[in-house]
Amino acid sequence: MTFPPADDLDAVAAALAALRALEADPDAVAVADAGASGLSEAQLLARSLAAIGAVRAAVERVALRRIAALDRAGGLDPATDPVRAGGHGDIGSFLAEVWRTSLPSARQLCAVARATAPQYSLHGEELPPVFPELAVALLGVPDDPDFDAESETDVPAAPSVSTDQAAVIIRELGKTGDGCSLEQRHIGERLLVEHAPALTVEQVRRAAIQLRDRLDEDGTEPREQIQRRRRSLTITTTRDGMTRIDWRLDAESAGHVVPQITAYVSRDFHDKRNGRNTGDGHDVGDSGDTGDGHDVGDSRATADARNASAGSTGVRFEDPEPGPTDTPAMEETRSMAQLRSDGAVEVFRHRAGCTSGATSPPVTMIVRVGLDQLRSGKGAAEIDEVPSPVSGATARRLAADANLIPMVLGRDSEVLDLGRKQRLFSPAQKHALAERDGGCAWTGCPHPPSYTQAHHIRWWDRDTGPTDLKNGILLCSHHHHRVHDDGWDIQVREHIPWFTPPAHLDPTRTPRKGGRIRLPDKAPP
């Protein structure tokens, strides 16, 4: 047999040639790409790693095709199958040995190869892959009927999805039940492939889980019941005297716990950076209270009613304009894991010392559910900061125990466009931005709304930008500074933020899609 197809190796050769050209004459590459001579050592190394990534992707494309071909060839002629002859139970075991990689990694690559390779009927007729959209994204299978595989100029496009991302999509969408049609799954697959280039593997996993549960509404409740049965908390003492707590929570329980810890982490981190402290060892949030129903002193002269209102709705935002303080800013030396630990301890410490009756929770649980799901109790709903969905029945029960804040903004006299009348964004605007952006809108950033600032796309001072929704975007502190310091451009088109890098970071200045993934409100018909 002949290896399929030769243009795969041409793509590897082209990627290697680009890498060699970059490292042999970086100045020439810089002039060709950006019209400027000279690259710093760090810039050269970054471009070299990007070029190596292209080589790796091209090699993986070759590997996927060869794995699928070996899988089919071995099945056709078991007597000459090197996998079985070598004593291996499957190709994954064979690859783990010859590549000296882990067995799970090798088997994952094999699973991707099978899911994106053509299928064959009992009569040898070639059929479409199980995941056709991933086949196009990974293997460059062309949609153009005039594509010529033998042509030197017709080369499949570079993979737009990594094999790790593809494995996640295959695994999660493969869990959909009989209630999800093949067409619906392909629509979901296409949506995930569209967003994957701007996401990390973990973000693709979360999006795939959410989409899986929207496509397979009948499966949400059984999965929720399994989670509840698996909940547990174990307390052990380690050899060095530390106490170890292993806590496994179902999605609903996590919705009560995670946002509270996040609120403390956000408050402590940002207030330490801005130098705000109550003087009694407890930093305060930007709203002038801790959010737990107990007011504390604020280092600023007055508590801004704007932020107090925002705190009452449960979504906390960092104040981009901290007021004057006599306390110098302090560098935060704790890791995120330590901040979360301190936040959890603070929650229990407050609970132990609280002598008042029932008080408002520090953070309101934000549940996103469609009106149809809320009415029927079927389908799935989402809790902010919790990756796993809950059932529509759980959302109805939570709604019965809570005051609802409908996500229909702009009514009840809430003004969402303030023009030049007010510099800082209002609570209503911030909630509208949180619904649009889902947290930090930067491409691939996982930070929730509580870690963000409302940023003027057209700057208030420099560009006389208005305080309007179309001119606002949520960014975490780090990416807020990246926009200001590095010269990124931001545009919001059809309610979707796009980030255009400066030429010194990306000579092509290709816009990158930001914001949250917009999944369908219900399964496609």
Is 60 exceeded by the pLDDT of residue 334? yes
Q: Do residues 113 and 12 share a domain?
A: yes
Residues 109-129, mean pLDDT to the nearest whole number: 90
- pTM of the predicted structure, to 2 decimals: 0.65
Q: End of a domain among 325, 353, 381? A: 353
Is 70 exceeded by the pLDDT of residue 330? no
Distance CA 181, CA 173 (A): 11
Residues 381-385, mean pLDDT to the nearest whole number: 79
Residues 110-139, mean pLDDT to the nearest whole number: 90
Closest CA to 439 of 340, 522, 514: 514
Quote the pLDDT of residue 18: 76
Is 50 exceeded by the pLDDT of residue 500? yes
Residue 208 included in any domain? no
Quote the pLDDT of residue 282: 36
Give CA angle at 203 (312, 343), nearest 5°.
40
Residue 315's φ and ψ, nearest 5 degrees, are -100, 115
Q: Do residues 112 and 11 share a domain?
A: yes
At 235-271, the pLDDT tens digits run: 999 999 899 999 999 988 888 888 888 877 777 666 6
What residues have CB less than 8 Å from 116, skipping those under 6 apart?
A: 64, 68, 129, 130, 131, 134, 135, 138, 139, 166
Residues 44-57, mean pLDDT to the nearest whole number: 82
Q: Which of 114-118, 315-319, 322-326, 437-441 has the lowest mean pLDDT?
A: 322-326
Q: Do residues 446 and 348 share a domain?
A: no
Is 70 exceeded by the pLDDT of residue 328? no
Quote the pLDDT of residue 270: 62
| CA-to-CA dists, residue 142 to 4, 156, 228, angstroms | 15, 7, 45
Is 90 exceeded by the pLDDT of residue 444? no
> Sorting pLDDT into bands at 50, 70 and 90, what band is 230?
very high
Quote the pLDDT of residue 165: 95
Q: Do residues 12 and 96 share a domain?
A: yes
Instruction: State the residue range of the domain holding 458.
Output: 427-513
Closest CA to 161 of 138, 139, 177: 138
Query: 3-state secondary structure string, 111-138?
Result: HHHHHHCCEECCCCCEECCCCHHHHHHH
Residue 505 included in any domain? yes
Residues 119, 121, 126, 132, Cα dihedral to 10°: -30
Give CA angle at 181 (176, 183), nearest 5°.
115
How many domains are there within the chain? Answer: 3
Q: Do residues 253 and 339 share a domain?
A: yes
Residues 37-61, mean pLDDT to the nearest whole number: 79
375, burial (CB in 10 Å: exposed 0-12, middle 13-18, buried 19+): exposed
Residues 396-406, mean pLDDT to the nearest whole number: 65
Residues 449, 452, 453, 455, Cα dihedral to 10°: -90
Residue 25 included in any domain? yes
Is 70 exceeded by the pLDDT of residue 352? yes
Is 90 exceeded by the pLDDT of residue 29? no
Quote the pLDDT of residue 402: 60
Residues 89-107, mean pLDDT to the nearest whole number: 92
Quote the pLDDT of residue 26: 59
Quote the pLDDT of residue 229: 93
Quote the pLDDT of residue 484: 81
Residue 457 included in any domain? yes
Q: Do residues 110 and 28 share a domain?
A: yes
Residue 188 included in any domain? no
Q: End of a domain among 327, 353, 379? A: 353
Question: Which of 368 and 202 is assigned the larger pLDDT?
Answer: 202
Residue 255 included in any domain? yes
Q: Which long-range contacts (CB under 8 A, 24 or more apart) does 277-280 make?
A: 277/327
Residues 366, 367, 371, 377, Cα dihedral to 10°: -150
Q: Which of 8-22, 165-179, 335-349 has the lowest mean pLDDT?
A: 8-22
Distance CA 211, CA 389 (A): 10
Residue 259 included in any domain? yes
At 353-370, the pLDDT tens digits run: 665 544 434 456 777 777
Is 90 exceeded by the pLDDT of residue 131? yes
Find how far residue 45's CA is from the centre of its chain. 26
Residue 242 included in any domain? no
Share of the chain above pLDDT 70, in %: 70
Residues 56-66, mean pLDDT to the nearest whole number: 88
At 104-115, the pLDDT tens digits run: 999 999 999 999
Question: Which of 412 and 58 is assigned the larger pLDDT?
Answer: 58
Residues 41-55, mean pLDDT to the nearest whole number: 80
Quote the pLDDT of residue 355: 56
Q: Helix, strand, coil: what percent of the chain each, to 5?
A: 50, 10, 45
Neighbour count for residue 1 (Cβ, 10 Å): 8
Find how far residue 257's CA is from the centre of its chain. 21
Q: End of a domain among 293, 321, 353? A: 353
